[in-house]
Structure formats: C-alpha cells, structure tokens
C-alpha cells in the first residue's frame, strides 16, 4: 500500500461516517475519487462509498441496504487488514455481521454507541488522514 496518502478531505469524510452522517460521508468520499484515480486508493474509496450508501439506506429505511453493504464488503475483501491507515478488516467484519443480521430478519442497533465506525490507525506516513 506504499506511502501514498488520501487527499485532504478524507479525514472529514471518515468523521462524517463515524458521526452517523452516512449520506454526507459518501459525498465526501466521492469528492476524492478524481485525485486517486488509477490506483488502489480509488478502489478503497468505492468500497467506502458503497458501505456509506448501504448504511444510509439502512438507517433511513430505504430499500437496497443489504445489496449496497454486500457490494462494499466484497470490495473491502480485496484489501489487507489495514490499508493506508484504514482498519479495513474491522469494517469488513462489521459490515458482514450487519448483512447477516439483516438477512436473518434482525435490524442492527441504531444507537450512536453501536453505530458502525471507520477506524484510522497511524501507520507511519501511510495514515493519510488529510
């Protein structure tokens, strides 16, 4: 994953996601796509966009949440446990857990304490928290 960083705005989009502002987070991640086109950071952003849209659909009771969450989890599967400072495995596990709950007819808890989170780990200069 090299020493590449995410462009300025990535940290703000992560904070929106972690605050439960999934629609706004997806917009923030989308704004960064052009800056990373042509490398794997683009693929990770697409996964984060899909996960954000999936949670937005879930918590606003729009149809299609399971589909979007599954698409995002599939894309996250291509990355190691930590990529560019993002704890990918933790997010992937949470998304798959929530998909399994939804498919079983249960709804994940919606409290702020139980909300999904994107964890950023400081890994040298690769944290890319811009």
Please report whether residue 5 resides in a domain.
Answer: no
pLDDT (0 to 100) of residue 2? 52
What range does the domain containing 93 cover?
A: 10-127
For all residues of the chain together, what is the average pLDDT?
Answer: 90
Arithmetic mean of pLDDT, 93-98? 96
Residue 42 belongs to a domain: yes
The answer to whether position 1 is within a domain reads no
Q: What confidence tier does 111 reach under pLDDT thresholds 50, 70, 90?
A: confident
- Note whether residue 31 is domain-resident: yes
Strand partners, 120: 86
Determine the 3-state secondary structure of 70 from DSSP.
Answer: helix
80 to each of 19, 47, 49, how far by Cα in Å?
25, 13, 18
CATH number at residue 88: 1.10.3450.10
> Does some domain include residue 48?
yes
Query: Residue 30 domain-assigned?
Result: yes
CA distance 91 to 94: 5
Burial class (CB in 10 A: 0-12, 13-18, 19+), 73: buried
Residue 3 lies in a domain: no
CB 51 within 8 A of CB 73: yes
Q: How far apart are CA 63 and CA 61, in angstroms?
A: 6
Q: For position 129, what pLDDT does the model report?
A: 41
Per the structure, the count of domains in the chain is: 1
């Amino acid at each position: 994953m090299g020493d590449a960083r995410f462009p300025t705005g990535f940290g703000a989009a992560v904070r929106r996601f972690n605050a439960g502002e999934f629609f706004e987070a997806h917009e923030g991640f989308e704004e960064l796509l052009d800056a990373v086109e042509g490398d794997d950071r683009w693929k990770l952003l697409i996964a984060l966009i899909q996960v954000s849209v999936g949670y937005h659909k879930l918590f606003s009771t729009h149809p299609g949440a399971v589909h979007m969450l599954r698409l995002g989890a599939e894309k996250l599967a291509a990355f190691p446990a930590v990529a560019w400072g993002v704890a990918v495995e933790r997010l992937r596990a949470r998304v798959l857990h929530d998909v399994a709950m939804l498919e079983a007819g249960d709804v994940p808890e919606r409290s702020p304490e139980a909300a999904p989170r994107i964890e950023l780990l400081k890994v040298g200069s690769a944290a890319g928290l811009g």
